[in-house]
Structure 1
Amino acid sequence: MLKPLIFGLALALLALMAAGPAAAADREVAEYTIADATGDWGFPSPYAHYSRGPGYVRMSFIFDTLVWKDDRGYLPALAEEWEYIDAENAYLFHLREGVTWHDGEPFDASDVVFTVDYIKRHPYQWVDSAIIESAEASGDHAVKLRLADPYAPFMDLVASTLPILPRHIWEGVSDPAGYREDDALIGTGPFILADYNKAQGSYLYEAYDDYYVGAPKVGRIAFVKVSDQTAPAALRQGYVDAASVPPEAVSALEGAGLEIIEGAHDWNAKLMINHQKEPFSDPEFRRALALAIDRDGLVDIALRGQGVTGSPGMAPPDSDWYNPGVEAYERDPDLARDMISDLGRAGEKVEILVAERGTVGWPGSRVAELLERQLEDAGLVVTLRSLDGATLDSRVMAWDFDLALSGHGGLGADPDYLRRMTLEETLNSARYADNGRLADLLEDQRRETDEDRRADMISEAQELYAEDLPALTLYYPRWYWAHNGEVDLYFTRGGIAIGVPIPLNKMAFV
């Protein structure tokens, strides 16, 4: 069964590698191929990539930020040094000299000022522009960013996340999401996009030899669409160099001489709940749902034990910010049935949306079937509807659903993700502001620079979130990546940018 799939992959790789000029012969690694089960994550410009982590990662190979992160912490990127000026509530960044855009134009402070002004006019999905009051250049190589209020997660959520745009290109662009010209992909990053095929879900990057850190050690990086089931065979046969792999494949791949890396529990499988409609708008009904669901069983059965039971407060147990005292909602189907009956909702028809993506750890059909059985045991009538991932996401954003199985990363990053995943009008957020105390805590914590006081606020916020349950974290899967060792892949400390838990940090290829 695998032979035709591998043969097809080989043909796709040959076609992709023929799309651009040959890589330099003196690279440490001439070509490096990464398997991805989903494939297309959008046109990799800052405004056109798909809003999940893999889309940002593909964009990040082309565009740089002021600061970056590796497995130990912050790294200088476009800024060599930075300092916080307490009296002005401002960050001063000293920029590198001699940096060029991919078209040869020089990078300077005016590009940073322009980028900040541009995202105020055209909101960028990953950075809240209201945080920055103003951007001021001091000569060509220094920029001061004044903040509207104290902002504890600034370094992670702005400095290490906001891609800097070339002013000479984007100052004439009025529709950034729709801008797909060649120069939309001119950045200062270590790679240039040589080919993108939306239908095949493939990307090909070429090294940018004038990169300010030095010419990348990898000449070409290719992303190709390969299912999780096929990835182990593709790795063993050398058709791909790195891939996310199912836990059950780990032992065999180690035996084949491949290196295995395991991530932290920074990604959660989540039951999205439409709290905008009855009966899901009633917190008591949502609590009954939580009591009906066997989250331990989901880990044992659907993940074969390769995960950790979800906390109703969202934060994972291995987080420094985790509150172990939140309501646990241990499964009690009898109590759940009584609560649903008392609310007059026995026999209520409920639809669960589930994605067809089939990615490791993602809550797919097996999880959906278990939930169907458990919720029916509690007195509900459940229908499952399988959709492609993009359609599911669009229905969730439009509030066109009852329950939906979804998930996202970022839980290893700054704890402001609790605010973003509760209050913001974004794809993975519960978009829930009904609890005034919870909303105030989540807004106030990001302005609290005393870490102990902030930790108390985050702890209380988890308790309130677990009490109201605008969404329910089901589990945190164990993620494994296998690779051939040609590139030293690693998981970024706190995740890439706002917390993307994927071990494809661009600096590993430089």
Structure 2
Amino acid sequence: MYLGFRRSRWKGFGWLLALGTALSLLVFAVVGCGAEKASQETTPGGERIAVYTIADSTGDWGLPSPYAHYSRGPGYVRMSFIFDTLVWKDDKGYVPALAESWEYLEDENAYLFNLRKNVTWHDGEKFTARDVVFTFNYTKEHPYQWVDPSIVEKAEAVDDYTVKVYLSKPYAPFMDNVACTLPILPEHVWKDVQNPEQFQEEKALIGTGPFKLVDYNKAQGTYLYEAYDDYYLGKPKVEQLKFVKVSEEMAASALKQKQVNAASIPPELVDEMKKEGFTILEGTHDWNAKLMINHKKPPLNDKRFRQALAYAIDRKQIVSTCLRGHGLAGSPGILPPDSPWFNPETEQYPYNPTKAQEILESLGYVKKNGYYQKDGRVLELELLVAGGTSSPGEREGEMIKQQLEKVGIKVNLRSLESKTLDSMVNEWKFDLAISGHGGLGGDPEILSKVIIGQGFNSARYTENEVLVNLLKQQQQEMNKEERKKLIGEIQKVYAEEVPALTLYYPTWYWAHDGKVELFYTWQGIASGVPIPLNKLAFVK
């Protein structure tokens, strides 16, 4: 019998509401009485941690099942504790997961995976090649949000523990974007599921990963996992893993009082936390804040106008003010300057308000009463930002408003809840919007996803045929040096078009108590998530 949930409180979708009171008490117990609990975190012999608590200011990321978690990185990470992929990554490179070895068969344009023989699903059923083949077939019919189903032509079981995956065409980023990203599903659970996005029963949480979900509270944004002791890499070193919502401002205090074990902290607290004896992790610049531009509506559909916006925005000042210098100014070619794929010849649009005004005037705009006008109408744009303490958010919005109005473009700020903002961008109901995403430290195939992909954090820009063709070519170029040339050219063409503008790459910091050796994953978790919560840290 599957015991991953407490059945008395979890019945279909209703458990989301039923747990409100219980988890509210749980959060109080964790954050209010943490000092007492911290003394009980390890067993008498110190071999295993009883409870490990992670503070997270963002809260809810959906039910951590493959088709139910929210599409951003934190949602994937929460799901990854329960579900495994064929291959995974540690801090140095690719490592075996459900597949103990693999090879690329160039003549067949296929990957051969040799699977582990000692793996069981959380309900005790054996994992076999049938599950892998089923997953590839199922995701062709029901696409998983993180993997393009057209990449794989077919998957075949050579025997019970060997699978051959045939690609529809050469695909350079297969390891990162498919093998390390696609969660493998149990055939015996999912074979009759016709609407995976609506499948939120207990069985939807049966995986092969190191943890099982015990409690989830949508309203509180809390998650409670327990170790799966039959995990194929051995018993997890943590018996229970918790995510609790704690504001970034309170995270350092919660750490000091031993209420939580790990948290993201503001840059200005790094030195203080070091002196307190906490381990500090400094992230790479794999995440970017960017200005989304509705290039489908005038005047934003004219690239010259978008170039004027780029000259009018002082990205270095935004880094200095909003990030207190802890980050890098954005490159209009998307990839950060410290990326091995960065092209230094990419146009950077250095801050030049005079140049911005010259472009606007060449487009027929005339300045009157402080703002540009054309055909009797004031040049006015609405800028959507995430409200509250979100970053990026209102601070960046205020700065961009000031900078654009200095040039002569009237800007109206509108603060929204972040998910509402994403939805409006997705539906093209905006002029400008400040958003962001990670993945820039992974395979440069991220460029395809955020330029011509159909996600809400993509520019969804297909108007330049040269750019689209370059993106397709780089996918199929298996020679790394030749591919790097294509990636460099993509950055140049994209920067000229400016369908969206990268504002900055923040330097993020995490502090933890050292009970678990957290680390940043090589090229990011899955296809590039820059969060130092790799499940291997809680196992090995």
Tell me, yes or no, whether TM beats 0.5.
yes
Alignment partner, residue 213 of structure 1: 233
After superposition, the Cα gap between the structure-2 partners of 1:97 and 1:113, relative to the gap in structure 1 and judged at 3 Å, is same
Match of 1:129, SS state, is coil
C-alpha distance after superposition, 1:204-243 (max 9, x if no partner)? 0000000000010011110000111111111111111101
More off after superposition, 183-192 vs 252-261: 252-261
Alignment partner, residue 163 of structure 2: 143
Q: Counterparts of 1:316 and 1:325 in 2: how far apart (Å)? A: 13
TM alignment of 1:23-38, pairs within 5 A = 25=43, 27-38=47-58
1:447 aligned to 2:502? Answer: no
Alignment partner, residue 404 of structure 2: 375
Alignment partner, residue 4 of structure 1: none
Q: Counterparts of 2:276 and 2:26 in 1: how far apart (Å)? A: 23
Alignment partner, residue 162 of structure 1: 182
Alignment partner, residue 246 of structure 2: 226
Q: Of residues 397, 414, 426 in structure 1, which corresponds to 2:443?
A: 414
1:484 aligned to 2:513? Answer: yes
Alignment partner, residue 192 of structure 1: 212
Contact 1:41 1:49 in 2 (8 A): yes
Large movers: runs of 4+ above 3 Å: 7-16, 22-27
Q: Counterparts of 2:29 and 2:224 in 1: how far apart (Å)? A: 15
Alignment partner, residue 299 of structure 2: 279
1:494 aligned to 2:523? Answer: yes
Q: Counterparts of 2:118 and 2:173 in 1: how far apart (Å)? A: 29
Give percent identity, aligned residues only.
59
Q: Which runs of 5+ in 2 are unaligned?
A: 1-24, 35-39, 366-371, 373-377
C-alpha distance after superposition, 1:83-106 (max 9, x if no partner)? 111110000000000210000011
Match of 2:274, SS state, is helix
Contact 1:315 1:322 in 2 (8 A): yes
Residue type of the alignment partner of 2:122? H
Alignment partner, residue 149 of structure 2: 129
Contact 1:23 1:206 in 2 (8 A): no
1:353 aligned to 2:373? Answer: no
Contact 2:41 2:52 in 1 (8 A): no
Alignment partner, residue 3 of structure 2: none
Q: TM-score, normalised by structure 1?
A: 0.95
Q: Counterparts of 1:223 and 1:238 in 2: how far apart (Å)? A: 15
Contact 1:303 1:477 in 2 (8 A): yes
After superposition, the Cα gap between the structure-2 partners of 1:33 and 1:442, relative to the gap in structure 1 and judged at 3 Å, is same
Residue 11 of structure 1 deviates from its aligned partner by 3.3
Q: Of residues 458, 461, 465 in structure 2, which corresponds to 1:436?
A: 465
More off after superposition, 420-429 vs 498-507: 420-429
1:176 aligned to 2:186? Answer: no
C-alpha distance after superposition, 1:305-357 (max 9, x if no partner)? 11111100011011100001111101111221232233235231111111125
C-alpha distance after superposition, 1:6-55 (max 9, x if no partner)? x9954355899xxxxx9995752111000111100011000010000000
Residue type of the alignment partner of 2:269? A
Contact 2:379 2:410 in 1 (8 A): yes
Q: Of residues 256, 263, 280 in structure 2, which corresponds to 1:260?
A: 280
1:317 aligned to 2:348? Answer: no
Contact 1:61 1:506 in 2 (8 A): yes
Alignment partner, residue 110 of structure 2: 90
Question: Could you say what the CA RMSD is over the residues aligned between the two structures, in angstroms?
Answer: 1.7
After superposition, the Cα gap between the structure-2 partners of 1:313 and 1:113, relative to the gap in structure 1 and judged at 3 Å, is same
Q: Which runs of 5+ in 1 are unaligned?
A: 1-6, 17-21
Alignment partner, residue 3 of structure 1: none
Q: Of residues 480, 503, 508 in structure 2, which corresponds to 1:474?
A: 503
Q: Counterparts of 1:87 and 1:281 in 2: how far apart (Å)? A: 45
Alignment partner, residue 428 of structure 2: 399
Q: Counterparts of 1:136 and 1:452 in 2: how far apart (Å)? A: 32
Residue 154 of structure 1 deviates from its aligned partner by 0.5
Q: What is the count of residue pairs matched by the alignment? A: 498
Q: Of residues 4, 29, 52 in structure 2, which corresponds to 1:11?
A: 29
Alignment partner, residue 21 of structure 2: none
Q: Counterparts of 1:474 and 1:331 in 2: how far apart (Å)? A: 12
Residue type of the alignment partner of 2:533? L
Contact 1:152 1:448 in 2 (8 A): yes
Q: Counterparts of 2:354 and 2:329 in 1: how far apart (Å)? A: 21
Alignment partner, residue 297 of structure 1: 317
After superposition, the Cα gap between the structure-2 partners of 1:15 and 1:106, relative to the gap in structure 1 and judged at 3 Å, is farther
C-alpha distance after superposition, 1:164-191 (max 9, x if no partner)? 0000000111111111100000000000
C-alpha distance after superposition, 1:97-138 (max 9, x if no partner)? 021000001100000000000000001110011100000001
C-alpha distance after superposition, 1:48-85 (max 9, x if no partner)? 10000000000000000000000010110000010111
Residue 364 of structure 1 deviates from its aligned partner by 1.6
Q: Counterparts of 2:135 and 2:41 in 1: how far apart (Å)? A: 32
Contact 1:10 1:239 in 2 (8 A): no
